[in-house]
Structure 1
Amino acid sequence: MLIALWIINGLLALAFLGAGLMKLARPAEALASSGMGWAADFASSHVKLIGLAEVLGAIGLILPLLLDIAPVLTPIAAILLAVLMLGAVVVHLRRKESLAAPIVLAILSIVSAILGFAAL
């Protein structure tokens, strides 16, 4: 079970770290013009906060488990990332955009939380 948790958390961390760093590094206008149309609906500071939440969530999926310091933080980070992705589902629904990516990430985050709590 711990191996499955590491695999899922590794994949989730890569996805959220990449997405979060992109949102932190690029202006909201550039994100909107490159296919993330939802970014035009939000203030630039909100897009940066979403990116920061994704980066911190990615770190939270890996570091507590890796360092064995407060490993309960790993499933908590997964729950918070699932909540973030459920918010993304709502935004994409309103804009009539594809829901595939946020739904998959939300489901994987929920699975990670379940595995994380079971591994404690």
Structure 2
Amino acid sequence: MKIYTKTGDSGSSSLLGGSRVSKSDPRLEAYGTLDELNAWIGLLKEQEALSSHRAFLGEIQEELFSMGSHLAAEDQVQVEAWKLPVLNSHLVGRLEAEMDRMDAGLEPLRNFILSGGHPASA
């Protein structure tokens, strides 16, 4: 699979099955946002300070990738035909538990903060 399509920029993009939708379609925005988040998580995963979280961050990346493939599918029939991975609803609970665990070790938040001070928090 190539990273370019040679179909030009006519303001549309193709879904998994080949049908074309407007580049303003909310699905394209959603899976573009998922791709961007996945890239940031990949960067975080490589930070030495977060090495103990690499496996969990990798699981999150895999789930985000699966979500993107579901968004790119035209319908549930195509999801099944392409044998796309089943989305793991249990990950939401694991994410919440991990956030609660991290939050328990922090001082209470009293104001908004700007990102920075360390590459892992920037």
If the TM-score is normalised by the length of the shorter chain, which range does it land in?
A: 0.3 to 0.5
Question: Which structure would you say has the larger Rg?
Answer: 2
Structure with greater strand percent: 2
Normalised by the length of structure 2, the TM-score is: 0.42
Q: Which has the higher contact order (CA 8 A, sep 6+)?
A: 1
